[in-house]
Structure 1
């Protein structure tokens, strides 16, 4: 067989099955090398995969493209292994990215099939390594707290600190999917920023006066250390465009010439 024909056959195989020649067989043809006791132990886990990363910009599409069939196949319909939700894990109180993503599946079997399929795949040149969360970990609980607190913070500082008092008692709405909760958050996340190192002596009116040319809704401190002066604040905008412009203009800049620390600005979306 000539080299050209061999290469053509390999590419055809990849497009048809989504698998490299000599690697894992296509979904439905996989054979398990684990005994029944190993499998039953794994079924004690939840339906959540955790992916650790310092990159806060990953989306569901990045995880879908790990599936070999999606990368190489010409098929346009959604692949069955892509039926999962992706949640960027954030602290429910201070809203900061916790360097991890949760992939939430309908059941353990779908999780396991996805994990087997992508075990040779890479993100940003690195092997995509996932861990299965214990069944006691319920991402919906922390997500519900994050949703409640962020929406309250976007409303006002008073609403935020009032919501914190009830944070432990917030339970997810059984009638809402993760996708619906994400849609609820979309407006607030697109118009909100987290900022480190605003001078600690400033009041809200001072900040609004300093940045009067941006359409700012309100500003308040989420965290502050009176000994070091370090503080984290929340800045809400009426305009998504102004929110984007503010981050582009002030991330890594000094608040004033007399300040020693640069502003660190993080977008939520």
Structure 2
């Protein structure tokens, strides 16, 4: 399906998602001042994945948005990786900036060199180098997410990761995947790259629903039932108290006594007393 406009629109949407995907995670890390549960190896693998993915997208001639995507992925992944070491490994800021910058420059230089190098075999009709880049990218991305699966399996919960980040990333994968269908040539490897990560993120969200959301809903329902039970018990006590109060109240005849009736009672009592004395 050849529709450059649709491909660019969807690719741009994917690039936007990938531009902001890790921002919620970075912000949460900053607010919490810890990265417990967030795997630094996952972030580093993602940074590595951006290199072959960028090479593949650029050399394959994908739309500009898809060519920019991997660069943003690498940058944000390195920032998050640096946060992991700053908060968890207690690296100082100078060390974080130095090591992260060195890795970023190395990866950028490697990607640039391989882009120029792999254009030569592509012009000669040799496809396996690009295929290798696509496979490496898919492997790095998948290993990064699978590393978090191991943490989920170990702790029986999804911890340290922002579900907003997961959702935005999955949305970026989806839009990027759909954009490939509107390219001039349907690229199967590109579909595998984005599709595999999309499936893995759906799995993480499902685990979050089972291990995080389900217990929370159960606790909320249990608390709601306890509150309803306490309210019902309180209502029963109020009704019992009212019944006791009504039982101890004087009869209705005493309520409607009049002065004349009380005088008659006094007269009758006086007459009865006189008869007894006689």
TM value normalised by structure 1 = 0.24
Larger Rg belongs to: 2
- Which has the bigger relative contact order, CA under 8 A and spacing at least 6? 2
Greater share of residues in strand: 1
